[in-house]
Structure 1
Amino acid sequence: MKNLKFGSKIVFIINSLVAFLLLVSYVLPYIPPKSFATLSVLSLSVPLLILLNVIFFIYWLLRVKKQLILSLVVLLLGWNYISSMYKFSSSKNIEDADNISVMSFNVRLFNKFEWLPSKTVKEEIINLIKSEQPDLLCLQEYRTGDPIVLDGYYNYNAFPVDRTVKWGQAIYSKFPIVNSGSLEFPNTYNNGIFVDIVKQKDTIRLYTLHLQSSGIQTDVENLKKETSGNLFKQVGSTFKRQQDQVELFLEHKSKSPHKAIVTGDFNNTAYSYIYKEIKGDDLVDAFEEAGNGFGKTYDFKFFPLRIDFILAHKDFAVNGFKTFEDRLSDHYPIKAILKLH
């Protein structure tokens, strides 16, 4: 570093800080938010930290400086993080008569409060579903008081405990539903629901979860009004509540004898304790198995956020995955193609 000019020394100091933060983030999936809530918030910035380290690596590479080693080593140590953020391979698309298509989408109340200028959002969502014809469809922030009708589907939807809330979640299935229920998260409008569906001789448990949201508006103008201290406090508190919700979910899932598919809006990233606990040792991430590109599922202006997931039991082969670009909500729909071995 002593051979660097003053400006380059400043750049390397910033580079070192960014590399250190990314390195610290590698341990976040193993730290419960209840133990260290403030640190767990760092998981949201992992995509940005990865991109910054890539930029620093390219910067030093173009200048032919050995300082490139710092970001290179940190990036290589977290290669799984990079592959979770961006898939360099093209999407799989394996046709098989035994495939099951699973679609998940946070529909944001079908644009009830006109966040989007279009007046036909609900109709466009229905048209998308009819076009894709998923075998299993999971919808979060579904308006239970204004249901959608889909021919050829069984369906189950559930309100949260508070019956004054007219939204919840819904599952539609082309296969018979033989069991269903709701996971009631305490002191919140969020919840999880499940169904057991029968495909030929197999019974499959399908969950869709809508975990606690921070309630922070993510557009630039609203973020400017928030102090960093308030952001950390609010997001940290949210992650603690998510931990409680995940613990309830895992207890429920442990009592099921069936192989599971877990979908939903986790309101957290693939670099978090929350995601690691839900995924466990028995589920695989359909995007990581068969997706491509960034896999962005949330409309956040600064960097690609993937907070909506389709996880399937490891006995499922993932034969395809798609992230849709249709802007019909603040989330983007996702669909996985699965085959049970």
Structure 2
Amino acid sequence: MRKAINKIIFVMNSIAAFALLLSYLLPYVSPKMFPLLSVLSLAVPVLIVVNVLFLLYWIVLLSKRSMLSLIVLALGISHVSSLYKLRGKSMDTGETGISIMSYNVHSFNRFNWIDSKTIPQDISNLIKIQNPDIFCVQEFYNNPDIDFKQYPYKYDYFNHNSKELALVIFSKYPFMKKGSLNFEKTANNVIFADIVMPRDTVRVYNIHLQSHRISSKTNDLAKEDSQKLLKRIQVSFKQQQQQSEQLISHMRSSPYKNIVMGDFNNTAYSYVYDKIKSENLQDTFKKEGKGFGKTFKFELFPARIDFILVPKEFEVLSFKSFDLEFSDHYPIYSKVKIP
């Protein structure tokens, strides 16, 4: 009886291992060509955890079948490190550097998604305490209770498709050129500002790529029509690719080194993340992050869809994701040294 059960478990293990192996191809597969395969990127964290559990199961039984998941996980060690990091620097090291922060504030709880009346004040206090030199905000809403007066420089852009929500770059350092990429037929967008820092001028991109409009709650997901949901996600993946291509083209024309941060609405296993990161950028979480580094409140697994990417020449001193439920996203913070 036990042999029969283990055979069934190994078949399930083989399916999970193959799916994870297939996911390693995702950064190289265009969503425009294979949108259905791109959807798999959203499930990679689950596949990693499932394969780890299968690995532990076979190890306990002292079975050679443990080699299957072990080999697949080893082949995708970069995927595993994108999900969880054992060591990193989340505290200020005391070294001189530039602190940068990104936060999708979900319009400061405008429609009371969270049972709290003090969200704008809570976020304002958080920013005052962390005091980043550059602060990028997504889904900004003009709330009278917010207070970011510590920033003498501000660039906000209300997309023509969203008159109330904006992308904003706050800075302690002056701007030179600034502008917007103006994505068509969507409320999502990318803005940029050339910021004169003490050592150099850098271009900072605040990005908010196309949303999949997926509920973070398991019960709500279960109620959705699976075919309509799948079709919607495939369409948004294609839009994300088009938006990322527009962003990359703009980055390549930049006279300065680029910092890219914000809400990618996609994971570190995706085509768009890989293509943007390939522009001589490094993921600050992968350098100095610790734990899961979750950035989005998703019931199924710890989702990391917000990123701070800096030039490879920069030294990453620290990274932190704050476990604070003031939004459906969690704020992320990093300190870097410009050479």
Q: Which range, TM-score by smaller chain?
A: over 0.9
Give the 3-state SS of the residue equivalent to 2:262 in structure 1.
strand
| Per-residue deviation, residues 227-256 of structure 1 (Å, max 9, x unmatched) | 332222111111000011111111111111
Task: Report the equivalent of 1:175.
Answer: 173
Q: Is residue 102 of structure 1 aligned with residue 100 of structure 2?
A: yes
- 2:88–2:287 CA contact under 8 A, matched in 1: no
| Alignment check: 8 A CA contact 2:29 2:38 kept | yes
SS in 1 for 2:203: strand
* More off after superposition, 120-129 vs 153-162: 153-162
Match of 2:226 in 1: 228
User: For the Cα contact (< 8 Å) 2:17–2:72, is it kept in 1?
Assistant: yes
Q: Are the aligned partners of 2:120 and 2:143 in contact in 1 as well (CA < 8 Å)?
A: no
Mapped partners of 2:24, 2:279: distance in 1: 18
- Shift in Å, 1:95: 2.3
* Whole-angstrom distance in 2 between the partners of 1:190 and 1:61: 46
Q: Give the 5 Å matches for 1:51-70.
A: 51-70=49-68
Deviations 1:103-162 (Å, cap 9, x if unpaired)? 000000000000000001001000000010000000000014757442243110001123
Deviates more, 1:324-333 or 1:139-148: 139-148
Secondary structure at the aligned position of 2:268 is classed as: coil
What's the secondary structure of 2:181's corresponding residue?
strand
Q: Give the structure 2 partner of residue 80 of structure 1.
A: 78
Distance in 1, matches of 2:152 and 2:134, equals 9
With normalisation by structure 2, the TM-score equals: 0.96
Task: Write the distance in 1 (CA, Å) between the matches of 2:207 and 2:142.
Answer: 16
Q: In the aligned structure 2, how far is the partner of 1:134 from the partner of 1:20?
A: 43
The answer to whether the 8 A contact 2:177-2:194 is kept is yes
1:315 paired residue number: 313
Alignment of 1:1-341 (within 5 A): 5-91=3-89, 93-97=92-96, 99-144=97-142, 148-162=147-161, 165-341=163-339
CA distance in 2, matches of 1:251, 1:106: 24
Q: 2: CA distance between counterparts of 1:202 and 1:33?
A: 36
- Counterparts of 1:158 and 1:277, CA distance in 2: 25
Shift of 1:221: 2.0
Does the CA contact (< 8 Å) of 1:22 and 1:74 recur in 2? yes
Q: Does the Cα contact within 8 Å between 1:168 and 1:190 map onto a contact in 2? A: no
Q: Which secondary structure does the structure 2 equivalent of 1:184 belong to?
A: coil
> What is the number of equivalent residue pairs in this alignment?
337
Once the two structures are superposed, residues 1-35 of structure 1 have per-residue CA deviations (whole angstroms, 9 ceiling, x without a partner) of xx971111100000000000000000011001000
Q: Is the 1:290–1:321 Cα contact (8 Å) retained in structure 2?
A: yes
In 2, are the aligned partners of 1:144 and 1:159 still within 8 Å (CA)?
Answer: no
**2:223 & 2:140 partners in 1: Cα distance?**
30
User: Structure 2 regions of 5+ residues with no counterpart?
Assistant: none
Letter in 2 for 1:333: P
Unaligned runs of 5+ in 1: none
Return the offset for 1:302: 1.1
Query: Which letter maps to 1:35?
Result: M
Conserved 8 A contact 2:88-2:318? no
Between stretches 35-44 and 221-230, larger displacement belongs to 221-230
- Identity in percent: 47
